[in-house]
Amino acid sequence: METVADNWGTLALVALTEGSYRFNALRRRVDGVSEKMLAQTLHALERDGLVTRDVQATFPPRVEYTLTAPGARIAETLRALIDALEAEIPAIMTAREDYDRRH
């Protein structure tokens, strides 16, 4: 549960709602993630059955990451959460300004 909800797990799942990605393409898409953290995150998601890893034994190697059905369902609710948070951003920003002015 913690692995899904962490920063990189969320971003990777949401990015994969757009379709399959190869490792480095996904890394470019998930801005700021290091190789290590993306590899670690994808392993955890694969272990939980939320992402599949399709290796093509070519040279250079191609590895495609794709959401499974459970992964897609979770990614969708993550997106709903992100949308809800973004909708509140203006309110949060003004609340912060008020708070900071008073403290």
List residues binding DNA (CB under 7 A).
6-8, 22-25, 32-37, 39, 42-43, 53, 60-63
With CB under 5 to 8 Å by kind, the binding choice for 36 among DNA, a second copy, none is DNA
**Minimum CB–partner distance for residue 96 and DNA (Å):** 17
Q: What is the nearest approach in angstroms of a second copy to the Cβ of residue 43?
A: 9
Nearer to DNA, 14 or 42 (CB): 42
CA dihedral 65, 66, 67, 68 (to 10 degrees): -110
Sign (positive or negative) of CA dihedral 2, 10, 79, 88: positive
Q: What's the chain's Rg over C-alpha atoms?
A: 17
| Runs of H (alpha helix) within the chain | 2-5, 7-16, 23-29, 35-47, 69-102
The option from a second copy, DNA, none interacting with 100 (CB < 5 to 8 A, set by class) reads a second copy
